[in-house]
Structures are given as C-alpha cells and as structure tokens.
Structure 1
Amino acid sequence: MNIHILTLFPEMFEGILQSSILKKAQEKNAVTINTINFRDFATNKHKTVDDYPYGGGNGMVLKPEPIFYAVESIPNYEKARIIMMTPQGIPYTQKKAEELKKEEHLIFLCGHYEGFDERIREHLVTDELSIGDYVLTGGELAAMVVVDSVVRLLPGVLGNQESAETDSFSSGLLEYPQYTRPEEFRTWKVPEVLLSGHHQKIEEWRKKESIKRTLQRRPDLIQAHQFDAKDQALIKTIKRELNHEN
C-alpha cells in the first residue's frame, strides 16, 4: 500500500511514523507513507494557502490550487482513494478500515482554518471521513487515527493476524475480558474456565462475555448486529442475569 498525507505540518507525523506498528510496517515493506506540505504548491511568492471566504464570514478557507496541484504531483493519483478528514464526513468505523485496507493507494487531506474550498470536495475527493462529533485544530490527528487503524490490518504487519481479527469492533462486538499471569493478584483471581484447558468452554465463555460487555457499554452495537438463534437465546440469558444483578 502507498499512503500520501497532505498537510501544512508534516513534522507532526515524524513521531508516529517512526514508532511502533507503523514503523514496523514500513520496515517490512507492507506500506510506504509520505507526507507532502501542500504549502510548497502555493501559487504566489508568499506561499499563501488560504483566503477570506466569498460572501463574508469568520475565518479563512483553504484555497483549491495548492491542494489540487499537490495531489496531481503524486504518481497515479487518479487511481487513489482521496480522503478528506472533516467533521462533515461519515463516521469512521472498523468496517471502513477493513474496506480501505484493500486499496493500493490512499491520499489523505488534512484541513485547517474554516475548511476546504468546496471545489476540492466536489471535484477531487472520493471519501469524507470523521473520527467523531467534535472539532480538532486540524485534520492531522484524525488522519493518524485512520492510517494506524488501516495499516495494522495489512497482511504481515501484526505478529499474530488473529489479534486484528479478534479486536473490539472487528466482529461487531466489544472484545471479551483478557487476563495474564499471575493467576492471582491481590486476591483477584483469573476466571477458572480460562485455566481449564477446555477450548470449547473457553470460547463459549469469551462469546458470552463479549456480548455481555457490549450490552452494558454499547447496546447500539447489539441492535445493529446479526445474531443466529443460539446467540439470541444467549442474549436473553445474559439480560436476565444482568437484571438480576441490578
């Protein structure tokens, strides 16, 4: 996969791109990630990338020329998914990450000020994404979130591919509780079933705990998930147990 990130602050990416999974992914040649300062593509001597909005209003708007020229400088940009990070975008989800991991080329546009000239959105962008219903100073942090969540899904990036497949949201549910050594800490013990060595019972316990945690913390995910008859019966049992606890 090739990733290009258009930003006014490429230095913001130095730490994250040279750390942890993103660094390892590049070392394994699973992905190449480049940042482009689109100020370099401004058309006047002052390197201006923004201007006052037509019709009046507060703030400044990013001009179309630097963005278009920067994208058009990227080889084969026509085949890329060009992603605008914006509060107006569709909510970003694990499902979208799974979709984007199949692409060979992603280009991210990181906005600032009062946003982008509408012609960028209409004639250049293929996707608009939001990581939440709040406003950031710029699109850089949002782009980092999306890049990290996509790259970790690429083949060979994680040491154990099952780690990505069983993460929260990958199944549409929150992940079950996890434990490790020691078996007992400050009188708090690991559930007996996890020490039993009985794989079927362990899987059943994990499935139940995953559904239980999702019911407690994100019931909206339960409503959106497709369950078979066996799991629907399990949900009814868990609800009765939760009502009894309360």
Structure 2
Amino acid sequence: MSWRADVLTIFPSMFPGPLGESLAGKAMEAGSWSLKVTDIRDFGLGRHRSVDDTPFGGGAGMVMRPDVLDAAIGSVADATLGSVADKRPLIVLTPRGAPLTQKRVRELAEGPGVILLCGRFEGIDQRVIDARQAEEVSIGDYILSGGEIAALVLLDAAIRLLPGVMGAAISAVEESFSAPLLEYPHYTRPAVWAERAVPETLTSGNHAAIAAWRLAAARQTTKTRRPDLYNQYIASGAPAP
C-alpha cells in the first residue's frame, strides 16, 4: 500500500503544486505515494459556503468553525480502507505548534501517511483540535497566510524519505538534522573557480582523510551557525574537536 496524504484546505488549487515535480512528482507517478485534496468549503454553511465566524471574546479577524472543519475531517479520517480503520495522524499546520524536526518527519515517512489540516484567518476553533486529538505542528517561528505552504513543506520532507524515492539512500543519512550536526560544505568542478580552490583534502583520494575533513567541517559549521545543536552534540557524549 502506498503512503497516503490527505490535505484539507480552502485553496485546493495550491496542490500538488511543487509536489507534482521532481522527485515527489516522479514518486507520485510511480505510485509510491498518493495525494487527495479536500475543499473545506464543500462543507461550508449557507449560500456562500461559510467556513468561519467572529471570535468569542472579541478581537480582530475570523476563526474557522469547528462544525465545518469536523465535517471535512470526518469525510477523510472516519473512512475505512476495506476493513482497516484510518490510523494516519491528523496534523494541523500552525505557528503555535511543536517545531517540525527531521526525527518527526522520518517517523511520519515510516507510517501509513498523514492527514493535514490547513488553517486560515486568525486560526481554528480549539474544540475541533481537542476533539480530534490533532497534532499541532509549526515549520518555523514566523507567520504565513495559511497552512498550505507549511503542508507542502512537511509533505516534501516526508516523501523524499519514502523507499525508492531518493536515488542515493546514503544522502538522506548524511544530511543536516539527520545527525546532531549540520551538513559539511559541498564542492564540485571546476577545481578552481574565481581564484578559489577546492580544499586539497577533497581531491586527495584519501577516503579516511576526506571523512575526517567533513566531520571537522560539520562541527565547525554547526558550532558557528547553530550553537544550540552543537551543544546538544557535545552533551550527547561526542568528543569535542
């Protein structure tokens, strides 16, 4: 069975977007994963298919209604595939969620798929999040217009880890955030460009020396750019350079 993604949004035309290209697009064509997009407005109220209302307690903006969202979620999450209940996690993309990490992405990629709810306006009524036991996830400490771009980010990160999607599996192991360190710098031809030469070690053919250079470079990059990750690396018992 392929990895299944359902996206709930009021802007269904935003999908598959970039996911229809490159590795993700080829993987979709090959049947490694599938995407179904549900328009939340199909469950909206009244002639205008309203999905939001004013917030209790006052304040700016509008809030997405729990009854409308629950109906949309139910059309996907309450279905069964044959006699098997849908066990995919329901994830709400929101800046107040837990940070998305490579560890969580890998866990999702190893599961049956995901159901992603894309919020809009000022947010989503908390009651539907609680009732559905949804997982709230953030892709960063900034605000987007809605959850759609965040959903694309999460899907891209997970899809590339599915079996057979990436040509070289070792690439996924050596990437930043797959280990405690950021990835080392990369170089390719020409060996000298704009009077800048590739580090001599990388052209030596000495694989042990190359591995040592890459580890040292990864340590230095992490220490300089992400001291929080570097401190975690040292705290894990790794020897300091």
1:86 and 2:94 correspond: yes
Tell me what 1:46 maps to: 48
The correspondence for 1:111, drawn from 119, 133, 136, is 119
**Normalised by the size of structure 2, how large is the TM-score?**
0.91
* SS state at 1:34 partner: strand
Q: Which amino acid aligns with 2:95?
A: P
1:232 and 2:239 correspond: yes
* Counterparts in 2 of 1:125 and 1:53: CA distance versus 1, 3 Å: same
Cα-to-partner distance string for 1:111-148 (whole Å, 9 max, x where unaligned): 01111111111011431001111111111111111111
Tell me what 1:199 maps to: 207
Q: Which amino acid aligns with 2:17?
A: G
Q: Which amino acid aligns with 2:239?
A: Q
Tell me what 1:185 maps to: 193
Residues 19, 156 of structure 2: 8 Å contact kept? no
Residues 95, 140 of structure 2: 8 Å contact kept? yes
Tell me what 1:244 maps to: none
- Using the TM superposition, name which of 6-15 and 84-93 deviates more: 6-15
CA–CA distance in 1 between the matches of 2:240 and 2:178? Answer: 22
Tell me what 1:237 maps to: none
CA–CA distance in 2 between the matches of 1:61 and 1:218? Answer: 36
**Aligned-residue offset at 1:78:** 4.3
CA–CA distance in 2 between the matches of 1:204 and 1:149? Answer: 28
**Aligned-residue offset at 1:187:** 2.0
CA–CA distance in 1 between the matches of 2:239 and 2:61? Answer: 52
Tell me what 1:12 maps to: 14
List runs of 5+ in structure 2 lacking aligned partners: none
Residues 9, 37 of structure 1: 8 Å contact kept? yes
* SS state at 1:54 partner: coil
CA–CA distance in 2 between the matches of 1:28 and 1:212? Answer: 40
Residues 80, 104 of structure 1: 8 Å contact kept? yes
**Aligned-residue offset at 1:52:** 1.1
Percentage identity across paired residues of the two chains: 43
CA–CA distance in 2 between the matches of 1:13 and 1:125? Answer: 25
Residues 42, 65 of structure 1: 8 Å contact kept? no
Q: Which amino acid aligns with 1:65?
A: D
**Aligned-residue offset at 1:208:** 0.6
Q: How does 1:68-79 map to 2 (within 5 A)?
A: 68-74=70-76, 75-76=79-80, 78-79=86-87
CA–CA distance in 2 between the matches of 1:133 and 1:55? Answer: 26
CA–CA distance in 2 between the matches of 1:233 and 1:164? Answer: 25
CA–CA distance in 1 between the matches of 2:61 and 2:143? Answer: 15
Residues 17, 23 of structure 1: 8 Å contact kept? yes
**Aligned-residue offset at 1:193:** 1.1
Q: How does 1:161-176 map to 2 (within 5 A)?
A: 161-176=169-184
The correspondence for 1:67, drawn from 63, 66, 69, is 69
CA–CA distance in 1 between the matches of 2:52 and 2:236? Answer: 53
Residues 43, 65 of structure 1: 8 Å contact kept? no
CA–CA distance in 2 between the matches of 1:123 and 1:226? Answer: 41
